[in-house]
Amino acid sequence: MSEVFNQANMLFLLKGIKLTLTIAFISIALSMIFGTVLAILRNFSKGIFGKIATVYIEVFRNTPLLLWILSIRFLVPIPPMYSGILSFTLFTSAVMAEILRGGMNSVNKGQYEAAYSQGFSKIQTLRYIVLPQSFRRCVPTFLSQAVTVIKDTSFLWAVGIEEFTGKGMILMGSFVSSYQVFILFGFLAATYFIINFVISCSVRTIKTSY
């Protein structure tokens, strides 16, 4: 145990946790912004931009995340961390867009008509009436997607990005017994569980408060 959890190893793993959470939270924040734009375009634009948004969402929702991680890591000349953020942002934006679109579609059509009758423009109706309600209704689903993003950052190890799982794999190479490897992997799993369990509890709390 002491050989696995010595100070040097723990500091090494903590750097991995920091990178994992950094990539996950930046990706989620950017995906919320880009996903909102995509959802609005797909729902309300009947022209070329609406069609582009639809194609984008369908392409990313129906292709593997790992494919985009590999493509961006090896084809786009940017630092490793940024390639991870970019791949997750592009992929997760499509998911966030569909979540938010469902929230917007749940708003009663009568509220649109009432807003227009009061002189609100489409943009004002979205900003002050539709989007606030939609975001509130989608918060539990957004948080559930955040859990998925945090877990899926482990895919980045496949392209040499040293996030939490990647750091663990590097340490594994220095161990001489299967017992040490088992302990290490147990620690990785427990850490992911604790982080995501806290978020999942928040989701359940929010759902029961609605």
- What are the structural domain ranges in the chain? 7-209
Tell me the helices (H) and strands (E) count for the chain, helix number first: 9, 0
Decide: 80 and 160 in contact? Cβ < 8 Å.
yes
What's the whole-number mean pLDDT along residues 127-134?
88
Predicted TM-score (pTM) of the model is 0.88
- In the prediction, which pLDDT does 207 show? 59
pLDDT surpassing 60 at residue 208: no
pLDDT digits (tens, 9 = 90+) for 60-108: 999 999 999 999 999 999 999 999 999 999 999 999 999 999 888 888 8
* CA–CA separation, 78 and 177 (whole Å): 37
* CA–CA separation, 27 and 126 (whole Å): 24
What's the whole-number mean pLDDT along residues 104-128?
85
- Residue that is written with structure tokens 């877990």 in the block: 151
pLDDT digits (tens, 9 = 90+) for 4-32: 778 888 899 999 999 999 999 999 999 99
Packing angle between helix 7-44 and helix 178-209, nearest 10 degrees? 40
> What is the token pair recorded at 190?
């427990």
> What is the token pair recorded at 194?
């604790």
- In the prediction, which pLDDT does 2 show? 67
- In the prediction, which pLDDT does 129 show? 87
- In the prediction, which pLDDT does 191 show? 93
* CA–CA separation, 205 and 89 (whole Å): 27
What's the whole-number mean pLDDT along residues 201-207?
72
What's the helix, strand, coil split of the chain in %, to 5?
85, 0, 15
Nearest of 46, 148, 136, 47 to residue 94 by alpha carbon: 148
* DSSP-assigned letter for residue 130: I
Q: How confident is the model at residue 210 (pLDDT cuts 50, 70, 90)?
A: low
* CA–CA separation, 36 and 103 (whole Å): 11
What is the CATH architecture of 7-209?
A: Orthogonal Bundle (1.10)
Q: How confident is the model at residue 128 (pLDDT cuts 50, 70, 90)?
A: confident
